[in-house]
Chain A
């Protein structure tokens, strides 16, 4: 089967190292999303897997085959590009058939494959059109068709949806997910959009500055980020992060947020740490506007209410730090303007080291 293994993969451009020894094992049929801000090395990593960039150091294995020095065409991968990379002078059918024609596949076989792929992607009626006559979504589908038709071992997606409008993006995201379920081909997907990562991935790889920050299933990353960077990147809106100092005894640690004492979880790492500077992380979803037993209540001033329909975002601030609350509207937002307190359950709070940004994990967490 066609797994992909990255073993201490390094990329250097002259003296500048941009990818610093990445280790990643992708299982056969898995859908892995590389996510991170611009310049984090995710696209470079994908291009090294495709063979479009040379690997400076380390080993790359695809389907148990060492492929560092194997030409892109012999790696048995297919790639979908951000700007579709469709040939403007060829029609849809010819675009899809391009890879097969290059490989000298027989014409009847090409015709059969093209019509199968067109059927899967709903492109049958557009086969004679040129890319210029297609909508963005249709073009993206053609680009995917060109990848699918070759039956590769691995699909590589380089921000394939970033040129589409929000509605189409949601639609195409679902199509990619369905397609992956149907074809079961190992897929590596690069995006800077954490929503895409969360919705598509079996596992997410969060990258920063050429290094992997965390690898895990979407909900693992959401619930248990290893550091402030992942906490800030995964989740929409991102986790609220407030700098504070640990106070109180080991039995009842707390931190002063604004002017309110907020109970912290009883973590072994906080034992005897009174006076230590930490970052208190609270997900907007875990900040409640109705009282809960045992929760700390922080008074706040409402800056702004953003209505999303079934949900709303309450923009507030605690001290000088902006603080966002995500809450359900139940069809009415008037009552949200009366909110003057937010309730935080200590068990939902994440505590990070203010210096390193690393989480003080609960012993039961990995």
Chain B
């Protein structure tokens, strides 16, 4: 141990420039990610802003018990898992498919235009996205209802119907992020050795075969890494969009842990319960990412660490 420490100090003295470059990131992590962890203890306290964190009495797992006895939290947990699972099922493959499709476009102008068009929604504020979605699905003037009206279907109040919330939420999420997320996979595709394709061409492979037998297997490590990260974020649903799109009529399918925390903590002032919900969220995410990483390392030799 002492040997290691001595080696580290020696290394630090020799390569001090590198450590200086590393410092801002470490400071940022400490200030914004580790220091706030001190506040996590309020999940186990009967917290009052007047008594402060240190002055509030410990209550053990009481808030967790409250959470799991609350139908609203259990519903939010269930919704979170369902929306995440559906997002992953439909949203995760989409950027990969897009990247593979972009890779097959030979005309550079067409390719660049198409890429720009699908990247654009990423740069639009979530509030605007929500506005667009609300307008598009409006029963009076929305484009969706106008189109289905052509087929003689009565207007549907999409955003007030619980059964429509999830498809609309997941669909708009894909629309906003799939293009931008495809950049990672495009970069991975760009890294595939071109002579693999040339060799396959001489061997007689069609473009379709090359996509399946070369491109996709070659970017598999990237896909796996992205999947592990995604699994780690499974309970982290983009709650701004949920808050902007849901309403009490759709809470049944739309309320997720983060919106629950928001209502409990910021609107209801129950910081301790909200902190307990947040901590639960983080622990689950930690376990999931560890598990996914271990499985991936064993099965595919690819892992985050």
Contacts and interface: CB of A to CB of B under 8 A. Distances in A.
Interface in A79-104: 79, 81-83, 85, 87-90, 98-99, 102-103
Nearest to A80: B199
Interface string B275-296: 0000000000000000000000
B206 to A, nearest CB: 8
B195 A85 contact: yes
B217 A102 contact: no
A263 interface: no
Given A87-B214, A88-B218, A89-B217, A81 B205 contact: no
Contact of A85 (B196, B213, B218): B196
Contacts of B202: 50-52, 72-73, 77-79
Contact of A81 (B195, B213, B218): B195
Contacts of B200: 98, 102
B204 A85 contact: no
B86 interface: no
A350 interface: no
A98 B197 CA distance: 12
A139 interface: no
A150 interface: yes
Contacts of A99: 203-204
Contacts of A87: 196, 213-214, 217
Contacts of A79: 198-199, 202
Contact of A52 (B201, B209, B213): B201
Contacts, number: 58
B103 interface: no
A81 B193 CA distance: 11
Contacts of B204: 72-74, 99, 102-103
A87 B203 CA distance: 13
B220 interface: yes
A85 B199 contact: yes
> Which of under 10, 10 to 19, 20 to 34, or 35 or more describes the interface residues of A?
20 to 34
Interface string B234-245: 000000000000
B199 A81 contact: yes
Nearest to A100: B203
Contacts of B203: 73, 78, 98-99, 102-103, 146, 150
A102 B196 contact: no
A244 to B, nearest CB: 47
A90 B205 CA distance: 16
Interface string B198-233: 111111110001000110011010000000000000
A85 B220 contact: no
Nearest to A83: B195
Contacts of A89: 217-218, 220
A196 B218 CA distance: 33
A150 B204 CA distance: 11
A102 B198 contact: no
Interface centre among B200, B202, B204, B220 (most CB of A within 10 A): B202
Contacts of B213: 87, 98, 102
Interface in A201-228: none
Given A81-B195, A83-B195, A85-B196, A73 B220 contact: no
A72 B274 CA distance: 64
Nearest to B210: A102
Contacts of B205: 73, 102
Contact of B193 (A77, A85, A90): A85
A83 B197 CA distance: 13
A150 B203 CA distance: 9
A98 B220 CA distance: 19
A174 to B, nearest CB: 24
A76 to B, nearest CB: 10
Interface centre among A85, A99, A150 (most CB of B within 10 A): A85
Interface in A43-87: 50-52, 72-74, 77-79, 81-83, 85, 87
Interface of B: 193, 195-196, 198-205, 209, 213-214, 217-218, 220
Given A52-B202, A103-B204, 16 more contacts: A52-B198, A72-B202, A73-B201, A73-B203, A79-B198, A85-B193, A85-B199, A87-B213, A87-B214, A88-B218, A90-B217, A99-B204, A102-B200, A102-B203, A102-B209, A103-B203
Nearest 4 CB-CB pairs, A to B? Answer: A73-B204, A99-B203, A85-B199, A89-B217
6 contacts: A77-B202, A83-B195, A85-B193, A85-B195, A87-B214, A103-B204
